[in-house]
Amino acid sequence: MAIIEVVTQTTVTIWLAWAIAAPQTPYAGKPFNGQPQKIPGRVQAEFYDVGGEGVAYHDSDAVNSGSGMLNQGDSGLDRFRKGEAVDISYTKPGIDKTIEGDDEKAGDLYLGWTAPGEWVTYTIEVEQTGVYFVKGHSSSRFDDAVISLAFDGIDKTGPIAIPTTVHWHKWRIADRLAEVTLEKGIHTMTLSFLRQGNMNVDYIEFIPKEQAVSTAPTISPSDAKSFDQVKRIGRCVNVLGYDPIWNDPQKARFQEKHFRLIHEAGFQAIRVNLHALTRMNAEGRLNEAWWRTLDWIVKNALANQLAVILDLHNYTDVAKNPEAFRPKIMAFWRQVGEHFKDAPDAVLFEVLNEPNGKLTAELWNEYLAGVLKTIRVDNPSRTVIVGPASWNGIGSLQYLKLPEDDRNLIVTVHYYTPMEFTHQGAPWSKSTVHLSGVTWGTDAEMRKSDEDLWKANRWARENRRPIFLGEFGAYDKAPLESRLRYIAYIARTAETLGWAWGYWQFDSDFIVYDINKDQWVEPIRKALIP
């Protein structure tokens, strides 16, 4: 008591946290099944020591919320350690998936229903002294979960942030959670849940450092630039497609200050929707006023640390008569390519938004090969964005043909599924204009989105291409609460998969910024950038 009386409040807090997290000394727990778990190797979370509350673990309630509660069957998995307070369940077919969308192996026991302040202790046997990389197979609902690992009561890792997987039933292996030096021999290891909880742990794995370093996966140097550029785009917003600025800069809604506001809100890039083809003269030239406006946009974006995607957006015109527009598309990219040939890497080109209609997948492959050749004349190292036919739909990725040796490409997809929700009440959408009050956010709806986005991610992995989700959102007439849920869910899922995203859109409709009131639509901004 004397010690506590003389220390500061902060120290008391730390001391108490340590006291809660540390096992009692001398340790009275025993290894599960009488066998210490071995390092190097996997320490299975469910095989925590025998010894009960306050000795081998601390749990926030006395029941096992998994075995015997959620899982009421008679199998060994359903009843595993059901009399103890630590909460254990197991992976199930059709429910537990990897972050990539593949099925998890079913029947693996894991520790769940975690909460801050809980801890579990394992007796472990380190077979060789050395430095180990710590891996973990886990899921986490949120992005602020924190654990730590102590050995013989001494914290050896400090706080370890667990990467979110967005959902309890989406799992990932995190490769480099921590690095620890361990001495050969029998020890206790205490896994503490410090913040957030809301996670599941299947196992913690220890790999000798020399072995981990020699097998670390790498992105080849030729692929690295396009993946870096996706990180640069990060969180993006579509702008200026429907602004009067293009007819008369005096009537512009979008003002110079908006570049700064977009940057300050946390966006990293803008995607400028250019309806340029219908503004060309008979010779396929764009006039000076148009170039002045575009230069003003690019200059101000870069000055505000925003990457800028120049997106050719005459998709509706091209879809009706691709052959008539083909020379104009080529003329556009010849001029833009020449004009921006010395621009920094933060300027990116997007060949054509949402090819559709008469611009079939086959024809599109032919067009984009031609455009890429044209762009590469003046811009050999410019990152170019290109998406599949059928409205940049995920289902058409399989038909997209890209030059294999051009590794400086980002593939873009758009996502508005389900249309009944995202386009309810939208006047241009015949099949959904009469709908209203359609909500989104059931487990089944989220799982459907997962399936779709994961499908795109599988294609991306197989083809070694990074992904930019260039458009997503829900029309202003959809119920706000569902819109926010949808926007946040799609954005977080995209981020978890390592994609960049671009919200549709800043002004006009689906708005994240209210130009009339000159302020952010705060709930939407916050759903995008929490």
Which residues sit at the interface with Ca ion, rule CB under 5 A?
44, 59, 61, 85, 87, 109, 113, 202-203
Phi, psi of 104 (to 5 degrees): -75, 155
In the complex, what is the shortest distance from the CB of residue 66 to Ca ion, in angstroms, rounded to a whole number?
9
In the complex, what is the shortest distance from the CB of residue 185 to Ca ion, in angstroms, rounded to a whole number?
24
Q: What is the DSSP string of 145-173?
A: EEEEEEETTEESS--EEEPP-SSTTEEEE
What is the spatial distance between Cα 208 and Cα 264, in angstroms, rounded to a whole number?
A: 43
What is the spatial distance between Cα 87 and Cα 84, in angstroms, rounded to a whole number?
A: 8
- SS3 of residue 487 by DSSP: helix
Burial readout 115-153 (b: 16 or more C-beta within 10 A, e: otherwise)? eebbbbbbbbebeeebebbbbbbbbbbbbebbbbbbbbb
Comparing CB distances to Ca ion, the nearer of 87 and 243 is: 87
Comparing CB distances to Ca ion, the nearer of 85 and 435 is: 85
In the complex, what is the shortest distance from the CB of residue 179 to Ca ion, in angstroms, rounded to a whole number?
22
In the complex, what is the shortest distance from the CB of residue 39 to Ca ion, in angstroms, rounded to a whole number?
15
Comparing CB distances to Ca ion, the nearer of 118 and 445 is: 118
In the complex, what is the shortest distance from the CB of residue 91 to Ca ion, in angstroms, rounded to a whole number?
9
In the complex, what is the shortest distance from the CB of residue 350 to Ca ion, in angstroms, rounded to a whole number?
44
Is 245 within 8 Å of 166 (Cβ atoms)? no
Comparing CB distances to Ca ion, the nearer of 96 and 452 is: 96
What is the spatial distance between Cα 444 and Cα 454, in angstroms, rounded to a whole number?
A: 15
Radius of gyration, CA atoms only, the chain:
27
Comparing CB distances to Ca ion, the nearer of 59 and 445 is: 59
**Residue 332 is encoded by which pair of tokens?**
């556009």
In the complex, what is the shortest distance from the CB of residue 67 to Ca ion, in angstroms, rounded to a whole number?
10
In the complex, what is the shortest distance from the CB of residue 84 to Ca ion, in angstroms, rounded to a whole number?
8
Comparing CB distances to Ca ion, the nearer of 46 and 471 is: 46
In the complex, what is the shortest distance from the CB of residue 52 to Ca ion, in angstroms, rounded to a whole number?
13
- SS3 of residue 120 by DSSP: strand
Comparing CB distances to Ca ion, the nearer of 202 and 354 is: 202
Comparing CB distances to Ca ion, the nearer of 59 and 104 is: 59
Comparing CB distances to Ca ion, the nearer of 115 and 363 is: 115
Is 483 within 8 Å of 512 (Cβ atoms)? no
Q: What is the DSSP string of 194-234?
A: EE---EEEEEEEEEEHHHHHHH-----HHHHHHHHHHHHH-
Determine the residue type at 305. Q
Largest CA distance in the chain: 91
Is 112 within 8 Å of 200 (Cβ atoms)? yes
Residue length of the chain: 530
Is 201 within 8 Å of 138 (Cβ atoms)? yes
